[in-house]
Structure 1
Amino acid sequence: MYCNDRLSGSLLVLFGALVLWRASTFPSLAGLEYGPGLFPSIAAIGLIVCGALIGFGSRGRRKAPSTSTMPPRQTGWRMAARPLALLIVILGYGLLLDPLGFHIASFMAVSATALIFGMRAGGAALLALPLVIGVHLLFYSLLRVPLPWGLLTPMAW
């Protein structure tokens, strides 16, 4: 298993490096402090860091856990229903984005996805709230990408 982690982590680092290199070739736009390569560069750095953690993190230096200490794998209809549930979340997000707005639809989508993967409702909400606020700050405030406000239009700034 750890050999697979090293291989997939290394491939992720390589892919991130290629994306970072390609994003550096994007032309800059006159009058802007950032260009079209900013977001791909941020994503590429995230890929490189995650790949390094997967492939060369502390897991690679420890002994493999015995099967008695590993959590039981989910089987049956719950595991089979997960991809369908994720498709429903994606379709619902696409349909509800404009009427509800980015903030409410994204909060619901992140919470639902966390619930699908077994997180408790309180934890899902605690994950979704800062994530939605962070994405809002990144795209709306920093990158000036217009996001639909939907029901929160009276509160838009």
Structure 2
Amino acid sequence: MKAWWPLIPLLALLAFSPVASAGGVDPTDFDEPGLEERYRALLHELRCTVCQNQSLADSDAGLARDLRRELRTQLNAGSSDDQIIDYMVSRYGQFVLYRPPFSPATYLLWIGPFVLLGLGFVVLYLTSRGSRQGARTTGVDSAARERARRLLGEGKDV
């Protein structure tokens, strides 16, 4: 019994720690087995609006817990996936979706990276073209070169 005595406080801390109690498992209380599959799919389709690019399944923020609870409530109430997504978008905006639809509000999101990539290529082309032209011409005319030779030559005699 003496060998176990130092381990009792450690076991008590482990038993009552938040990691042990939460276990990383999101409790689901669905009556139908198909609802849990829909729940898991929607968790990965919706984004936590507080976290930086994390799905509701990955986030541990308070808002994400509330959204997961709301998702369970709506699934148990019989809402369809489209109704749930529409509700979340109406409440939190397009940012809550990982794959927002192609609409006027999201044109910049979908097309912006390609426009920036094209602009980058144009800038790269223009700067490389300019440096090639600068290598061919020194930018110093022959009269200035002759004047420099005379000045340097006169400085050596002194």
Q: Please state which band the TM-score falls in when normalised by the shorter chain.
A: under 0.3
Higher Cα Rg: structure 1 or 2?
A: 2
Query: Looking at both structures, which has the greater relative contact order when contacts are Cα pairs under 8 Å and sequence separation is at least 6?
Result: 1
Q: Which of the two has greater helix per residue?
A: 1
Q: How high is the TM-score relative to the length of structure 1?
A: 0.22
